[in-house]
Amino acid sequence: MSSTGLQPPRLERFRAGAQELGVAAALISSPRHVFYLTGYLPGERSPSFLLLRGPEMLLVAGESDRPRVAPGVEHDVEYYEDYSIRHVVDRRRAAARSLMDAAERLGLAREGRIGVEILDLPAFAEPALGSRERVDVTPLLRSMRAIKDPDEQDRIRRSVAVTAAGHAAARQAAVPGATELEVYAAIQAACVIEAAKPITFDGDFVSGERSWLIGGPPTRRVMRRGDLFICDLFPTVDGYWADTTRTFAVGASSPAQRELYEIVNRALEHGRKALRPGVRACDVYHEIRAVMAEAGRAQNFPHHGGHGIGLEPHESPMIIPGDDTELRVGMTVTLEPGIYVEGVGGVRLEDNYVITGDGAEAMADYPLGLEAKAG
Amino acid sequence: MSSTGLQPPRLERFRAGAQELGVAAALISSPRHVFYLTGYLPGERSPSFLLLRGPEMLLVAGESDRPRVAPGVEHDVEYYEDYSIRHVVDRRRAAARSLMDAAERLGLAREGRIGVEILDLPAFAEPALGSRERVDVTPLLRSMRAIKDPDEQDRIRRSVAVTAAGHAAARQAAVPGATELEVYAAIQAACVIEAAKPITFDGDFVSGERSWLIGGPPTRRVMRRGDLFICDLFPTVDGYWADTTRTFAVGASSPAQRELYEIVNRALEHGRKALRPGVRACDVYHEIRAVMAEAGRAQNFPHHGGHGIGLEPHESPMIIPGDDTELRVGMTVTLEPGIYVEGVGGVRLEDNYVITGDGAEAMADYPLGLEAKAG
């Protein structure tokens, strides 16, 4: 236990914010917020906790996560045994025990109110809180997360670069005769090579008549000349998500498809120009929708216009009619206008932006363009 | 709410077991056990719950999971809104509210003791339990899960088949000059094509001097002639894990490497012959270790001899000195002897077995053999 280890600036800001809420101590239990505040990204198998009290901090982590814990916080960590060949280990039980020990050492429940993540708290962690009053610090964390620090923007850019590699592979692989699964495999391979490690990966991979259903996983469907293929990639590298989309014409495109593409392209450009500090998220949505409406395609644009990206694939602000959050410098958002027309195809284009003092900056410059095998 | 929908046999068995524990109602909160009892595998974003009381059941699931819910239980589901463009949705808050409604409709906390998964219960679900006494049903679920039903064995076999496709790709791709990442990408592509959909995927991909460190993710390391490459694959398809390993010689193998291979091969065969009902897991470990010791390599075998596989990549029984669980018909286990020698390389071989009346049956027959490009 120490207050001399690495204290990332976000941790200091959180402490200040918590103090304003009258919170004397805090238990952080979601992996994403342990990561956000300490730089340690917990593995998926062993539960981790961050305990804070005044200037002191203590991490609880499984032994198998030791290589993941940043060297700077090494001496603030209480490790528990989460693997042994000598006896059968229940990781969650071991974590619960270790958490109780850590809470006692730190005096977590000694006095005052305790900050917790109400909706991310496992019931087994509650004994560590004693009978202290709980205060939900989730709104504080979300509000902090809305503005990305430079290191966070860099991580998102790294994930965006991975999607660019994926789109380049899709542009080559989406040819008549290929299955959606084969194209997906080529995309995934390119993303892994670019990231230089296995990554968590999700997305939409729909071609032909599947493209006007908006999204879905890849299937054995064989692509035909004249299909549109929507490639929506959301990978995460080092904890931060990107989310970009390109649409490719397989072999050739029809005038009707190119018309949809031009509308969506205009909507994306129009949306991008609307991004600036002080504008509300709902206003950006309406700007995008206005382009669709002008083209008589408002009814073919059924989904959001975009959303925040960061530690979660979808986070605040949501570019929807129902979110009046004001954009601020340092927010990172995706815009993703799309039109889906039965018998013609679906077109969606999506890029990621960081809000700047006078507008927004694209986080990568992978080309748009319907043509496959052109890149 | 209904008792007439699909009632999988595991649900009936669970009810009977819970009744013996004096449990009148139960709240199942882990995705794997919701899946185990209902056949509905929840998506990762929206929390799901299974509520049971007497002969009645009710599922709580996010709207976006609707396509995942088996048609047979469709009318036993209370869906909550987990996406909207009209307003910002907090999925966990919506789940908590929906759970409270469902608990009231079902009378979950009306009388008697309530079964819960103590270590898998979110704190936000606790109000649904009222002030009723809680009984941990995790041991009951684990005990049921130890013996795999035929449909579960089929799902594991499907995942094992995916690993076989991965090994076949590795055997082709692990050539001098290839990076571990390139080989990994080829493996992943083969697995996805075989599974015919995106799958969750983990494993060890270490070559050369990395191979005697047992495991780790793939890197940019370039494979050289004479390297050993350990390919340990654990994918999950439709909720059930497989876990198999092959070791490949890149270009050529040395006599010392072939000697390690022969010892590990013997240990695997010896372990397989030890598998039968009534034998203890620790005994199987000692049989494997005896082969290592006879060859003077006991100190180079630092890890478990295997473990159960199923809904989790590691589950009971653990093939370690510290687990005296008796094997029973229908258990599914992996055996994975390995030897790691600095300057020579690491060799690990692993296959998956189901315990039968008089022994064990391999769940796939992908060939062993050190030679790459031979398959």
| pLDDT tens digit at each of 375 positions of chain B | 343 344 568 999 999 999 999 999 999 999 999 999 999 999 988 999 999 999 999 999 999 999 888 766 667 899 999 999 999 999 999 999 999 999 999 999 999 999 999 999 999 999 999 999 999 999 999 999 999 999 999 999 999 999 999 999 999 999 999 999 999 999 999 999 999 999 988 999 999 999 999 999 999 999 999 999 999 999 999 999 999 999 999 999 999 999 999 999 999 999 999 999 999 999 999 999 999 999 999 999 999 999 999 999 999 999 999 999 999 999 999 999 999 999 999 999 999 999 999 999 999 889 999 988 744
Structure-block tokens of residue B19: 């009744």
pLDDT tens-place string over residues A314-366:
999 999 999 999 999 999 999 999 999 999 999 999 999 999 999 999 998 89
Q: Supply the pLDDT for residue B71.
A: 67
Cross-chain CB nearest to A123 (options B126, B197, B201) = B126
Architecture, CATH, for domain A9-144: 3-Layer(aba) Sandwich (3.40)
Segment holding B191, helix H or strand E: helix B180-195
What mean pLDDT, rounded, does chain A reach? 94
Interface contact A119-B119, CB threshold 8 A: no
Residue A6, pLDDT > 60, answer no
Residue entry with tokens 């899709």: A170
CA distance B16 to chain A (A): 26
- Identify the residue among B282, B315, B320 best suited for mutation to test binding to A, counting A beta carbons within 10 A and taking the highest: B320
Q: In angstroms, rounded to a whole number, what is the distance separating the alpha carbons of residues B225 and B217? A: 21
CA distance B18 to chain A (A): 21
Q: In angstroms, rounded to a whole number, what is the distance separating the alpha carbons of residues B119 and B246? A: 35
Residue A3, pLDDT > 70, answer no
Q: Supply the pLDDT for residue A74.
A: 64
Which residues on chain A are in Cβ contact (under 8 Å) with B84? 320, 322
Residue A245, pLDDT > 90, answer yes
- For domain B9-146, the question of CATH label 3.40.350.10 is answered with yes
- Identify the residue among A88, A118, A221 best suited for mutation to test binding to B, counting B beta carbons within 10 A and taking the highest: A88
Which residues on chain B are in Cβ contact (under 8 Å) with A220? 196
Residues on chain A bordering chain B, Cβ-to-Cβ distance under 8 angstroms? 84-88, 90, 92-93, 96, 118-126, 181-182, 184-186, 188-189, 192-193, 196-198, 201-202, 217-220, 285, 303-304, 316, 318, 320-323
Q: Supply the pLDDT for residue B201.
A: 86
3-state secondary structure (DSSP) of residue A361: strand
Work out the angle between the directed axes of helices A180-195 and A150-173 (0-180°, nearest 10).
140
CA distance B193 to chain A (A): 6
Which residues on chain A are in Cβ contact (under 8 Å) with B316? 88
Q: Supply the pLDDT for residue A104.
A: 97
Interval A185-208 mean pLDDT: 96
Interval A208-236 mean pLDDT: 97
CA distance B139 to chain A (A): 12
Q: Supply the pLDDT for residue B44.
A: 85
Cross-chain CB nearest to B123 (options A123, A196, A198) = A123
Q: Supply the pLDDT for residue B4.
A: 39
CA distance A8 to chain B (A): 27
Q: Where in chain B is the domain with CATH 3.40.350.10?
A: 9-146
| Full-model pTM | 0.94
Burial group, residue A47, by CB count within 10 angstroms (0-12, 13-18, 19+): buried
Interface contact A217-B201, CB threshold 8 A: no
Task: Report the residue count for chain A.
Answer: 375
pLDDT tens-place string over residues A68-119:
887 666 678 999 999 999 999 999 999 999 999 999 999 999 999 999 999 9
Q: In angstroms, rounded to a whole number, what is the distance separating the alpha carbons of residues A205 and A220? A: 11
User: What chain A residue is nearest to B195 in terms of C-alpha separation?
Assistant: A181
Burial group, residue B278, by CB count within 10 angstroms (0-12, 13-18, 19+): exposed
Interface contact B198-A201, CB threshold 8 A: yes
What's the CATH number for A150-362?
A: 3.90.230.10
Q: Where in chain A is the domain with CATH 3.40.350.10?
A: 9-144
User: What chain A residue is nearest to B30 in terms of C-alpha separation?
Assistant: A122
Q: Where in chain B is the domain with CATH 3.90.230.10?
A: 150-362
Which residues on chain B are in Cβ contact (under 8 Å) with A181? 192-193, 196-197
Q: How many other CB atoms are found less than 10 A from the CB of residue B128?
A: 24
CA distance B159 to chain A (A): 17
Which of the four pLDDT bands, split at 50, 70 and 90, describes residue A207? very high
User: What chain A residue is nearest to B119 in terms of C-alpha separation?
Assistant: A124
Which residues on chain B are in Cβ contact (under 8 Å) with A218? 197-198
CA distance A198 to chain B (A): 7
- Pairing outcome for strands B56-62 and B77-80: parallel
Cross-chain CB nearest to B192 (options A85, A184, A320) = A184
Q: Supply the pLDDT for residue B225.
A: 97
Residue A267, pLDDT > 90, answer yes
3-state secondary structure (DSSP) of residue A339: strand
Interface contact A88-B193, CB threshold 8 A: no
Interval A264-268 mean pLDDT: 98
Q: Supply the pLDDT for residue B1.
A: 39
A6: region left, alpha or beta (phi > 0 left; psi from -120 to 50 alpha): beta
